[in-house]
Structure 1
Amino acid sequence: MLKKVLAIIFCSALTISCSYFNEADRKSAIPKIDTVVDFNRVDAYPLFPVCKDIPSRKKQQICFQLQMSQYIYAALKKYSLSTNQLINDTVFVKLKINALGKTSLSSIKISDKTKELLPEFDSLLKVSLLKLPVLSPAIKRNMPVTTEFTLPIILKN
């Protein structure tokens, strides 16, 4: 009789301690990971040091665009670009900001006439970009990422 009671207690203890009953709880504890990534948007834009303290994401984007335009225009203004013909053109400059915050030139879309009148424009632009400060890179899912954007530069004389 004592053997039967010990056998029942042993089997009960074995059944209660089994992890079989906890398996349903473990499955519900696993968080779902969002696997859909929108590669056209970032969580935070690249930032100049003066734009970091702005709380609104939209205002940070505006601050970044204004600062980038001011840096490029100020750098190009130092050079005397002269031509004997009238220029009224928009040059589209594609800039890349890598995950370390370094800015580089990806491409320049410039008309043939403007390129003929200002052949040194692209090299002056490259030199101007070298003088840009290191930026805070764009953030996607709490990781720094490389971003590209197009900056229109209007040339008039």
Structure 2
Amino acid sequence: MRKLIAFMILGCCFSCDLFVSKEKKTQELVNQEMRAINWNDVDNYPLFESCDESTSKTSQRECFETELLNHFSATLQEFEFVIGPDMDTTVFVDFLIDQEGKLTVVHIQKDKAIDKVMPEFDGIISQSLRNLPPLAPALKRGIPVRVKFRIPIVLNRN
């Protein structure tokens, strides 16, 4: 009998999991899962109506980028930008697509000379992006999330 009691006491001492609550175990599992998620990547890219949501992630990205650049190019071709002979430069436009698919321009990185030659440039870029067709937001684990993108615009004399 003494052996049985000693064995039970030792068993209880070494099996600490018996005393851990279900809530704590659940929280530990949630924490492990949260650490395993790559928060710098989305499961589904923002999609235009013409893009197929059932395709692979790579195809979704290609469709998003193609549609975005096609719209952007078409809009910018309506304007005639006049730059100096030595102004071959690249402008970077940072924008955010929120959980509802709404786009906001965050920052436009450009040379100061562009502001002198084309003071309306920022407004044209912002308006072009605001006039995009409706977008479905990016998804992470089935939940709509915000995503930030950067697109380059090459300005040259051609």
TM-score range, shorter chain: 0.7 to 0.9
Encode CA deviations 1:87-146: one digit per residue, 9 max, x unaligned.
311100001101000111010000112222221110111111221112010001210001
Q: Are residues 1:147 and 2:147 paired?
A: yes
Residues in 2 aligned to 1:139 and 1:70: alpha-carbon distance in whole angstroms: 23
Structure 2: 5+ residue runs without aligned partners? 1-17
Residues in 1 aligned to 2:151 and 2:96: alpha-carbon distance in whole angstroms: 11
Structure-2 residue corresponding to 1:137 = 137
Cα RMSD (Å): 2.2
Retained in 1: the 8 A contact 2:46–2:101?
Answer: yes
Which residue type is aligned with residue 77 of structure 1? Q
For residues 25-36 of structure 1, what are the structure 2 equivalents within 5 Å?
32-33=29-30, 34-36=33-35
Encode CA deviations 1:50-95: one digit per residue, 9 max, x unaligned.
1125511111111111111111111111112224544311100001
Retained in 1: the 8 A contact 2:98–2:146?
Answer: yes
Residues in 2 aligned to 1:139 and 1:43: alpha-carbon distance in whole angstroms: 6
Retained in 2: the 8 A contact 1:138–1:144?
Answer: yes
Structure 1: 5+ residue runs without aligned partners? 1-22
Residues in 1 aligned to 2:89 and 2:147: alpha-carbon distance in whole angstroms: 26
TM-score where L is the length of structure 1: 0.75
Retained in 2: the 8 A contact 1:103–1:134?
Answer: no
Residues in 1 aligned to 2:154 and 2:83: alpha-carbon distance in whole angstroms: 15
Structure-2 residue corresponding to 1:47 = 47
Structure number with larger C-alpha Rg: 1
Which residue type is aligned with residue 129 of structure 1? L
Q: Are residues 1:112 and 2:112 paired?
A: yes
Structure-2 residue corresponding to 1:15 = none
Structure-1 residue corresponding to 2:58 = 58
Aligned partner of residue 93 in structure 2, secondary structure: strand
Retained in 2: the 8 A contact 1:47–1:135?
Answer: yes
Structure-1 residue corresponding to 2:72 = 72
Structure-2 residue corresponding to 1:99 = 99
Aligned partner of residue 95 in structure 1, secondary structure: strand
Structure-2 residue corresponding to 1:156 = 156
Q: How many positions carry a matched residue from both structures?
A: 132
